[in-house]
Amino acid sequence: MREKINLTTILLVMIDLFLIIASLNIAPLEHGEIFPHASDKGDGGWIPVTETPWTGGFGECVVSDGKYIYVMRQRNAVSTTYFMRYDPASDTWEDLSENVPDVDFKNGLAMAYDYEGNFYVLAGSTYADGADRVYFFKYNISTDTWIRLADTPHVQGAGDAITYSGYDGKIYAFIGRNKYSGDYEPPDGVYSVFARYDPNNDTWENLTFPPWPGTDDGASLAWTGGKYIYALEGEFYENTPVTNFARYDIDNDTWENMSDIPAPDGVGDGGSLLWIGYYDSSYSDLIFALDGNGCNETPGYNFTVYHISTDTWEELEDLPYPVGYYVGNRLAYARGKIFYWQGTPGTWEGGGRHICYYVPEAIPEMVFTQIPDFSGNS
């Protein structure tokens, strides 16, 4: 027969549990909050997680589908290409390298998510490569398959950048670099182009280029939910800071200069733009940014945010480990957190492998299953 438990015993147990919980000093989460605010956990708002098994490489890029972080990296032209996926829920990495195309992924490797389960990928190039570096791919997440698409209309390079526009369902890209090899200049004088890819008919078309001579290390693009795409030029001039930031009007095929990014040493390797308004409309007015290392190759710690409605910039918490040396986007968003990957040589502060997350104030963990209709936005 079971022993009876009296009311006094139950009360004593409940008191003991209350005292244990109180001793842990755990603050309650606010209504609707999924993760504690980054500022509550110290370390300047950036929290490290399980790092990558390798440091950065000459071909590297970070991208996300809203649930997972993907990192692609090739150390050099004679090394293996790695493609891995990070799960923030379990803090684990999964290797997806087996089906990657047998093509070298180099400087200017760039990837864009279409919010429908696909990444579009520019393979990049080196300054010494010829005109055949025009590889362009689509990767389907659910089937883990790669398809080669129509070649880009211009040779690729460190000035590559790419973004998807839900406004018209097309891909926009900077394609090129500041030079071809050594001091050689292209016969037509065109270093980089700005082009649009139509997934419906697998074709490219060249568009109006911004009022710049070209793009290079740190060039970046970000669609912001309506008819505008924002862009960083990158380090077109070596040893001279470049902070140019501009906006493209899809409807009119025109560019407008915006306020320069606050980067005293200019934009360089690791320059990145990130818009997360698709996942949380309360952040639709913001673009997060890294300016990368300086034009003098000094490590980059700056993390800033651009306010679209006021054309102003704001400085946020510095990165705990610097980015730079290698070209490639470092910012991505997944499950209510902004992530960045260091992606530098192992000799840099932090060892080059770190990946950390930052939680904006009161952002919910939310992943849409289908893209909203932005066609009416202005």
Q: Give how far the C-alpha of residue 258 lies from the chain's centroid of Cα atoms, to the nearest Å.
A: 21
Average pLDDT for residues 151-165, to the nearest whole number?
Answer: 96
Residue-wise pLDDT tens digits, 56-86:
999 999 999 999 999 999 999 889 999 999 9
Residue 368: pLDDT above 70? no
pTM, two decimal places: 0.85
Q: Which residues pair with 47 in a beta bridge?
A: 357
Residue-wise pLDDT tens digits, 197-213:
999 999 999 999 999 99
Residue 112's closest CA among 59, 152, 63, 167? 63
* pLDDT score, position 239: 85
Question: Residue ranges per domain, the chain?
Answer: 41-358
Average pLDDT for residues 346-375, to the nearest whole number?
Answer: 69
Average pLDDT for residues 351-374, to the nearest whole number?
Answer: 64
* pLDDT score, position 186: 61
Looking at the chain, how many residues does it have? 378
Beta strands in 50-152 (DSSP E): 59-64, 69-74, 81-87, 92-95, 110-113, 118-122, 136-140, 145-148
* pLDDT score, position 361: 60
* pLDDT score, position 202: 98
* pLDDT score, position 5: 38
Average pLDDT for residues 204-226, to the nearest whole number?
Answer: 96
CB hemisphere CA count around 249 (13 angstroms): 9
Residue 171: pLDDT above 70? yes
DSSP string, 258-317: -PPP--TT---TT-EEE--TTT-GGGTTEEEEE--S-TT-PPB--EEEEETTTTEEEE-P
Superfamily of domain 41-358 in the CATH hierarchy: Kelch-type beta propeller (2.120.10.80)
Residue 267: pLDDT above 90? yes
